[in-house]
Chain A
Amino acid sequence: RKEVEQDPGPFNVPEGATVAFNCTYSNSASQSFFWYRQDCRKEPKLLMSVYSSGNEDGRFTAQLNRASQYISLLIRDSKLSDSATYLCVVNRRGSYIPTFGRGTSLIVHP
């Protein structure tokens, strides 16, 4: 089983839709969780950290479920500019080294 698993998609949604991605991780001792966004042929950029209590940044909401070992990203009111690959990243317990999921592709169409 891979350390971090994501559905690669693509998720194809119309503008204005709400879309959610999940990511599961295998190491129950993992401590830190992040969502990164990567545009085609660009570097990954930090979208948001994921905190135990859940957190929100504008249209984006991240949740952590430790019992089921998954994190989620909810995007409300999708924009064309949200089209990108969303990478789930987990730092293993006792380690600062990021481990990447394979990414989920989002395509927002008019």
Chain B
Amino acid sequence: DTEVTQTPKHLVMGMTNKKSLKCEQHMGHRAMYWYKQKAKKPPELMFVYSYEKLSINESVPSRFSPECPNSSLLNLHLHALQPEDSALYLCASSRGGGQGNRAEAFFGQGTRLTVV
């Protein structure tokens, strides 16, 4: 099973709303990622969790708040977003540090977010 599951697939939210994106994997991967992708651009790294601890925050605004409840789950909490935050949000996982340095990452289908 090389599946990363993201929910919801589509989300429309107002600028005052609070919502959460969810990501789940059961491959035993210890590294999980959030990426943001705008049209015709490559995925842009937002956050990295390693062994359930936040290891990288790529200077993401605080209106995006990640959470890793356990080794299989990753959430992204959204609050007071702006229309320019509309994008495809991708979750990914990989084996992680050590021998996992050579490992490929697997991506979820993404959440297409529209902020109105």
B-binding residues in A (CB < 8 A)? 31-32, 34, 41-46, 49, 87, 89, 91, 93-103
Contact = CB atoms under 8 A, between A and B. Distances in A.
Contacts of A49: 104
Interface string B58-94: 0000000000000000000000000000001010101
B110 A43 contact: yes
A46 to B, nearest CB: 5
Contacts of B92: 98
B56 A87 contact: no
Nearest to B96: A96
Interface in B1-35: 31, 33
A98 B94 contact: yes
Contacts of A44: 43, 90, 107
Nearest to B44: A100
Contacts of B31: 96-97
Given A32-B101, A41-B88, A41-B112, A96 B94 contact: yes
Given A97-B33, A97-B48, A98-B94, A32 B103 contact: yes
A31 B102 contact: yes
B104 A34 contact: yes
A96 B106 contact: no
B45 interface: yes
Nearest to B35: A100
Contact of A96 (B45, B88, B103, B109): B103
B88 A45 contact: no
Given A31-B102, A91-B101, A97-B31, 20 more contacts: A31-B101, A32-B102, A41-B88, A42-B109, A43-B107, A43-B109, A44-B90, A44-B107, A45-B107, A46-B104, A46-B105, A93-B101, A96-B31, A96-B94, A97-B56, A98-B33, A98-B105, A100-B42, A101-B42, A102-B42
Given A45-B107, A102-B42, A96 B95 contact: yes
A93 B105 CA distance: 15
A32 B48 CA distance: 18
Given A43-B108, A43-B110, A97 B103 contact: no
